[in-house]
Amino acid sequence: MVRVAGFDLTFSAPKSVSVVFGITDGELRGAVRGAHDRAVVEAVRYLERSAAAVRRGHAGARVEPADGLVAAAFRHRTSRVGDPQLHTHVLVSNLGRGPEGRWSALDGRRLYAHARAASFVYQAVLRSELTRSLGLEWLRVHKGIAELAGVPRPVLRAFSRRRAEIEAALAEHGTSSPRAAEAAALATRRAKRDGVDAAELMAGWRSRAAELGFDRGDLARLLGRVRAVDLDSARWDRVFDELASSAGLTRRASTFSRRDVVQALCERLPAGAVADARVIEAAADRFLASSRVVALLPERAAGDAFRRRDGRVLPVAGEQLAYSTPELLALEQRLIDRAIESRGTDAVSRTRRRWPRRWWRGRRSPASSARWSSASAFAVTASPWWSARP
């Protein structure tokens, strides 16, 4: 059996933010660094509330909530090829304290399951903080990430030499999958350069940026473009309506989870919205408890179980509820009814064999589906953990 000592969670700023951080100084540089640090803290707090759990019993079959995470953060400002790349490694110990005060291994599956959502939270809070403090404007959000408006693409490409190395390796082998990209990143990884003078490094970045036509004047023009806005109920309702539409959460899948909602909200927050992880999570819970959503009954799971703070035991898979929308379930019901009408009563058994068992159990109509509020998800205590080196 392989023993895991810990987990390395990496939160990396968009390239345009890293470039601004790298070629500026003084208060502007401090504001970018502060926004990044705050975003990392919020992302880890999201993980503490949503993914911190310990394994108990034979082969770790029982899962219980943990009292936060034991972690240390290390901030870095460069990529392996020496380009500006503001990022933080959060090293999480594979150790958690359960409800009774006993320490044991974390349930790493939960960290992996929520890692992408945590990354989306980091990016959303970073955008919020930089808009609030500096008035920065953003381009369209794609897969959780957005670049700053006003930083030219040639500048981004010039300071993305590490990415260029990985893409060249992928092209050489004729592959493009995420797994292939991960292998290419490992194969082309260089040893880190030690003893590089920070002042010399930043002077080189400024010189390269100036050669590309991006100087201090261009930096000044990035500031004060937009104003931060508070999210009122009307704005949230518009976002919720979009999530529940056919172009929202059910565009590519018939069901979704709470973390899918968190990710979707992070992508769809209005420009300049002021939000942190708790605001986003609270909005996700309001959406899941609304009439726009139907909670589906979980599959019966053998083996692993999750014990909530109220003492109830749920399957690990079932503790993470699946949801859908009334409109989609009604559409599926109409399709089944039409198949039954056109092919006779024997079509019922054939349709049931084809359809996921979870959908049929407890399903008579969308109105009769159980509505379970995600507000009952287990809570953990966020513990002080933050430490970063300059």
DSSP state string for 213-243: T--HHHHHHHTTSS--B---HHHHHHHHHHH
Residue-level pLDDT at 342? 79
CA torsion angle for 87, 123, 282, 231 (degrees, to 10)? 130
Helices (H), the chain: 15-23, 26-50, 108-134, 153-158, 161-173, 178-187, 198-211, 216-222, 233-244, 258-268, 277-288, 316-319, 326-343, 347-354, 357-360
Residue 87's closest CA among 8, 4, 164?
Answer: 8
Taking the domains of the chain in order of start, what are their residue ranges?
6-226, 294-376
CA torsion angle for 327, 332, 336, 338 (degrees, to 10)? 50
DSSP string, 268-325: HPPTTB---HHHHHHHHHHHHTSTT-EEEPPPP-SS-EEE-TTS-EEEHHHHS-EEE-
- Vertex 390 angle, CA 138 and 21, to 5°: 25
What does pTM read for this prediction? Answer: 0.80
The span from the CA of 58 to the CA of 239, in Å, is 44
Indicate the DSSP class of residue 384.
Answer: P
Residue-level pLDDT at 50? 93
Residues (pLDDT < 50) of the chain are: 301-302, 317-318, 355-390
- How many CB atoms sit inside 10 A of residue 11's CB? 25
Residue-level pLDDT at 195? 66
Residue-level pLDDT at 212? 92
